[in-house]
Copies of this chain bind each other. A is one copy, B any other.
Amino acid sequence: MSRVITIGREFGSGGRELGRRLADHLNMAYYDQEIITAIAQRTELSVQYIQGIVEQRPVTPFPITVAHSFNMTNDTGFQMNLQVFQAQRQIIEEMAEKSDCIFVGRCADYILRGRDPFRIFVYADTESKIARCRRKAPEQEKESLTDKEIRRNLEKIDRNRAKYYAFYTQQTWGDKVNYDLCLNTSRLNLKQAAAKLAELALIHWSV
Residues of A within 8 A of B (CB): 121, 123, 125, 174, 176-177, 179-184, 186-189, 192-193, 196-197, 199-200, 203-204, 206-207
Contacts and interface: CB of A to CB of B under 8 A. Distances in A.
A203 B189 contact: yes
Binding site secondary structure of chain A: mixed
Given A174-B176, A181-B184, A187-B204, 9 more contacts: A125-B177, A177-B184, A180-B183, A188-B207, A189-B203, A192-B206, A193-B203, A196-B200, A197-B200
A183 to B, nearest CB: 6
B177 A123 contact: yes
A91 B101 CA distance: 48
Given A188-B207, A203-B196, A181 B179 contact: no
Given A188-B203, A203-B188, A182 B193 contact: no
Contacts of A197: 200
9 contacts: A125-B177, A176-B182, A179-B184, A181-B182, A181-B183, A188-B204, A193-B200, A196-B203, A197-B200
A123 to B, nearest CB: 6
Nearest to A119: B184
A44 B88 CA distance: 64
A183 B183 CA distance: 9
A177 B189 CA distance: 18
